[in-house]
Amino acid sequence: MTETERLAAIDAIRQLKARYFRSVDSADAALASTFLAEDCVLDYRGCCTDPVSGIDHFPEMNAVIEGRAGWLSDAFKASGIVTAHQGHQSEIEITSDTTATGIWAFTDRFFFPPGGRYHRFEGYGHYHETYAKIGGAWLLRTTRVTRIKIEVE
């Protein structure tokens, strides 16, 4: 792989992750199908557990989604929750012509409807991911979320 091809792959993966965040926040399942590998494994177990207190603020999120068909894009919207995700400081390593890994620092905010368990949930952490180039496109193969801090009010 040339340096230009490597940089193009990194940019494609950054675009993929931007679509990931937009698809979650806009409840767009069609968009999700453009970046998820058919055999993806998305591990969200413990993703809303505060690493300091051990409190799981949103146990419904403890799930492992196996396969593109398992993606539930409207779960937040259906319960009146609005989310806002921001990804930062990507560390992307191209490991072969068709594989890559990435770590993304992120912030996410959940705004609950009146009478919800919280008014606002704000979390900070990292996505640990793998990617595969399939059919000429970079796709998300695996993800695992780790937290460094959670604030709720």
* pLDDT on residue 95: 98
> Structure tokens of 132?
């595969």
Instruction: Give the rounded percent of residues in the chain with a pLDDT score beyond 70.
Output: 100
* pLDDT on residue 77: 79
Taking residues 101-111, report their average pLDDT. Answer: 97
Max CA-CA distance within the chain?
55
pTM above 0.95, yes or no: no
Report yes or no: 49 and 55 within 8 Å, Cβ to Cβ: yes
- Return the CATH fold of 3-152: Nuclear Transport Factor 2; Chain: A, (3.10.450)
Find the radius of gyration of the CA atoms of the chain: 16
* pLDDT on residue 71: 86
Instruction: Give the rounded percent of residues in the chain with a pLDDT score beyond 90.
Output: 85
* pLDDT on residue 78: 79
DSSP three-state, residue 62: coil
Q: What is the DSSP letter of 25?
A: H
Q: Could you read off the pLDDT of 126-139 as tens digits, one per residue?
A: 999 999 999 999 99
Whole-number Å distance between alpha carbons of 97 and 152:
42
Listed range (13-22, 55-64, 140-149) with the worst mean pLDDT = 55-64
Can you give the residue ranges of every domain in the chain?
3-152
Q: Could you read off the pLDDT of 55-100 as tens digits, one per residue?
A: 999 998 899 999 998 887 777 777 889 999 999 999 999 999 999 9
Which helix H or strand E contains 39, and what residues bound it?
Answer: strand 36-43
Whole-number Å distance between alpha carbons of 9 and 92:
9
Report yes or no: 102 and 129 within 8 Å, Cβ to Cβ: yes
Taking residues 113-136, report their average pLDDT. Answer: 95
Q: Single out the residue of 136, 67, 140 nearest to residue 97, CA to CA.
A: 136
Task: For strands 36-43 and 137-152, give the pairing.
Answer: parallel
* pLDDT on residue 72: 77
Taking residues 24-29, report their average pLDDT. Answer: 91
